[in-house]
Structure 1
Amino acid sequence: MRPSLLLRYPIGRKREIDERRASPGIGIAETEYCRHVGPQTPSSRFDLIRTIYYKSVHPIHLTSAFQELIMTVYRRPDPIPRASAPREIGSALTPLREQNVDLNQLAAKQIFMAIVSKQWGANGYLPKEDELGEQLRVSRTVIREATKYLAAKSVVETRRRRGTAILDTQSWNLIDREITAWISESRQFPHFGEDLLGVLAHTQPALAERVALMRPSTVAALPEIAAQIKTAPNEERGDLILEFHERIAVAAGNPFLRSLTANAVEGLRVHHRGVLGAFVQSCRMADYSDTAAAISNGDGDKAKQILHAVFARASGRVDRLSPGRVADLA
């Protein structure tokens, strides 16, 4: 008796098909595929089966390729998280299923917060995917996507046969607004607000000089903003000052410095109101009117000198800012 061929179907059972039925013609393959997979199978699947069949020299090749095709296309997905409480692993990570947000992004944030709190040590490796999945009560797919999300921000790096490495803080993409927000929310970087103010201190004078020489049409709004800074109440003055500096960065025309300035402005406005308030108190409101006038008149040197003085008076902090403050965590 001639041996039979075995095909494994997605429902997990086996069906014997005599090799004599695998005669030339694709009809049998299509019939068997539709019978067990369903009539809604895309036509591209049939095209792939035809290719497999016509490249086969012996029916056994058709069987092996057919089995591999079905097990690949209909591979069982990652398990759905159990409804029961997860096994305790001694982690501070919070389960995510109860929160109505994007799980991939939220998982990435939770992992990042654990990284900055040194839960797994500085410059170490993340736990395995199944362990992180149990702690956060999400599937491995979510953990995998969250890891990719962090890798795109240069926070972690996947290394073959070693795991997912936590990169040094100096490698992180600090221009990324999410990273800035997460760092600020973590409260692990006590001088991060001063670092953001330092971004403005080291770039704005030079940008103001450049804009004054260019005299683009986009600086027409600077005198109006400067006038509002003089008359605005204290709680609104900080936002107007930040808008003034952001307009200068936009007018300079450098997209990288514009993104850097926008990130620093957003961080100060949303997460570091205390640092912003101290900076506003150290400012002389007439300086912004003088800066706007200097830029409008094309006097770059004067605009640069005024802004240098503005930041130098900021409670004496700007001169002590260090670009390596964020690396203090490592």
Structure 2
Amino acid sequence: MSEPGSLIRALSGRPSARNYHSYVISELGVGIASGRFPIGSILPNETEIMDSYGVSRTVLREALKTLEAKGLVEARAKVGTRVLPRNRWNLYDRQVLSWIHEAGPDAAFLASFFVVRRMIETQAAADAALHRTADHVRMLQYWLNQRHATTGMPEPHALAEFELHRTICEASQNPFLRAATGIVEFGIARAIMGRIALFPDDLASEKAAGYAELARAIEAGEAETARAAMVGLLALDERRS
């Protein structure tokens, strides 16, 4: 689930191809994020987990290696696999963010998340205005049109909005901002997927003018205007999440 758009697709409820490996990773990941396997605790032994999920030892060990690579657990000989503190988790990883979403993030987590999202996306908007190419401008207009065309369709609308934001990160020409699109996608998923089914027209129309101004400012090379437009759009998302 590392490719762009995968988090939105997963949170939209679309059935996905599942295998034993991804199933066990997801079950354990959500269990850790929800506190069912508390921080500092030792996971059940291999035999117990294998029996619980009906998987082989090979599948389980590969799943645990994946969780360890994401910073959720640490395996130690003669001790077992321990759940690590959240400050060790890779919170920029789409799969980790999807588990946190499914577990239900608390208000403190969301507040911290929005601080980081504002830092990333407002700077990306300003930098995009300074460094965009003609192709970036063309893609911004394309995804702006797609966003409008998919009003009332939760997943396509969310994906179009995400691609618009991803284009802005690309246009910034900053490799660190380009690499932070998991954060961007999580924010859009939180704002759209949970709300558009209830207020489809309201959500789309409320932000339409802001997106039009953002695209115009980036095309015109107006960095501070682009930054201000992004600030306004993110404030709407924060209220919706």
Taking structure 2 as the reference length, what is the TM-score of the superposition? 0.73
SS of residue paired to 2:67 = helix
Pick from 234, 238, 242 the counterpart of residue 162 of structure 2.
242
1:215 matched to which residue of 2?
A: 132
Deviations 1:209-250 (A, max 9, x none): 111111323322223444555676344655433322121011
Partners of 2:22 and 2:63 within 8 A in 1 = yes
SS of residue paired to 2:75 = strand
SS of residue paired to 1:283 = helix
Distance 1:138 1:242 in 2: 35
Cα distance change of structure 1 residues 166 and 102 upon mapping to structure 2, 3 Å threshold: same
1:233 matched to which residue of 2?
A: 151
Q: Which has the higher contact order (CA 8 A, sep 6+)?
A: 2
Pick from 112, 122, 146 the counterpart of residue 205 of structure 1.
122
Instruction: Return the letter of the residue paired with 2:209.
Output: A
Cα distance change of structure 1 residues 258 and 195 upon mapping to structure 2, 3 Å threshold: farther
Distance 1:193 1:275 in 2: 16
TM-superposed CA distance for 1:205, in Å, is 1.8
2:63 matched to which residue of 1?
A: 146
Structure 1 segment 215-294 matched on structure 2, within 5 A: 215-221=132-138, 222-226=140-144, 229=147, 233-235=151-153, 238-262=158-182, 264-265=184-185, 268-269=188-189, 273-275=193-195, 280=203, 283-294=206-217
SS of residue paired to 1:126 = coil
Cα distance change of structure 1 residues 268 and 314 upon mapping to structure 2, 3 Å threshold: closer
Deviations 1:277-327 (A, max 9, x none): 779368342222222221112111111112212323446478xxxxxxxxx
TM-superposed CA distance for 1:166, in Å, is 0.4
Partners of 1:238 and 1:280 within 8 A in 2 = no
Distance 2:47 2:158 in 1: 46
Distance 1:250 1:176 in 2: 18
Deviates more, 1:257-266 or 1:207-216: 257-266
Partners of 1:294 and 1:300 within 8 A in 2 = yes
Distance 2:158 2:129 in 1: 23
SS of residue paired to 1:233 = coil
Pick from 215, 218, 221 the counterpart of residue 298 of structure 1.
221
Instruction: Return the letter of the residue paired with 1:248.
Output: I
Structure 1 segment 75-86 matched on structure 2, within 5 A: none
Structure 1 segment 170-209 matched on structure 2, within 5 A: 170-185=87-102, 187-190=103-106, 200-209=117-126
Cα distance change of structure 1 residues 157 and 238 upon mapping to structure 2, 3 Å threshold: closer
2:43 matched to which residue of 1?
A: 126
TM-superposed CA distance for 1:256, in Å, is 3.5
Structure 1 segment 10-29 matched on structure 2, within 5 A: none
List alignment gaps of at least 5 residues for structure 2.
1-16
Distance 1:231 1:103 in 2: 37
Deviations 1:232-277 (A, max 9, x none): 6344655433322121011123333223224532674499612567
1:64 matched to which residue of 2?
A: none
TM-superposed CA distance for 1:206, in Å, is 1.1
Give the fraction of aligned pairs with identical amino acids, expressed as a percent. Answer: 28
Partners of 2:75 and 2:81 within 8 A in 1 = yes
